[in-house]
């Protein structure tokens, strides 16, 4: 009986390892597809700001847009992630035609540390919690209207990305979009690039 249980445990363990390997290969292929689209141009790189503890929504009480000391900011890991992401864009030869960022400091810092082009601030990239969702409509227009020839880089917040595409990104993760998606969608998702390690 013990041998049979050991054999079942071994088979279960092999199955788990196999599934993890398949998942990792799928994620790597997805990232390569995303990078290839960025290199080809005419796509949008939608990036959630790099690591800014505690890592969930919101800012401390007393938040002020004009004072970074009152906000959640990038930590050392976040600064390294932003620099590594920018280096990856340059190493892969991604042509960046425009960089737009939320005016919140962790987003501005992510965009500036990437160093892939001049950084423009846009309130369209702030979370839109009111009705009507004017910022969301503006952002939809920015994404759907992009034609390149290079890449549009957008650095924003999880609470901006979720209503736009009904998906969640980790901090420093990139979602690559093809504007003007099928069926009247704002964009089609080409693939994801995981946060830099």
Task: Quote the mean pLDDT of the chain.
Answer: 87
pLDDT of residue 54: 82
The model's pTM is 0.85
Per-residue confidence band for 15, with pLDDT thresholds at 50, 70 and 90: very low
Question: Between 3.40.50.1240, 2.130.10.10, 3.80.30.20, 3.40.640.10, what CATH number should domain 2-193 receive?
Answer: 3.40.50.1240
Average pLDDT value for residue range 10-37: 65
pLDDT of residue 12: 54
Indicate the length of the chain as a whole number: 197
Q: Looking at residue 116, what DSSP letter applies?
A: S
């Amino acid at each position: 009986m013990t041998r049979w249980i050991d054999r079942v445990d071994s088979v279960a363990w092999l199955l788990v390892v196999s599934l993890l390997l398949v998942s990792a290969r799928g994620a790597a292929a997805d990232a390569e597809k995303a990078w290839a689209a960025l290199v080809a141009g005419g796509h949008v790189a939608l990036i959630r700001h790099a690591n800014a503890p505690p890592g969930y929504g919101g800012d401390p009480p007393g938040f002020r847009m004009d004072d970074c000391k009152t906000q959640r900011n990038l930590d050392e890991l976040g600064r390294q992630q932003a620099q590594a992401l920018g280096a990856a864009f340059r190493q892969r030869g991604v042509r960046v035609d425009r960089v737009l960022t939320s005016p919140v400091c962790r987003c501005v810092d992510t965009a500036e540390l990437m160093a892939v082009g001049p950084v423009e601030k846009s309130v369209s990239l702030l979370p839109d919690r009111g009705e009507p969702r004017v910022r969301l409509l503006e952002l939809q227009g920015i994404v759907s209207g992009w034609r390149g020839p290079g890449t549009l880089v957008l650095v924003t917040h999880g609470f901006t990305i979720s209503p736009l595409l009904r998906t969640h990104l980790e901090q420093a993760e990139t979602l690559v979009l093809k504007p003007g998606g099928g069926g009247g969608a704002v964009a089609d998702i080409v693939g994801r690039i995981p946060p830099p390690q």
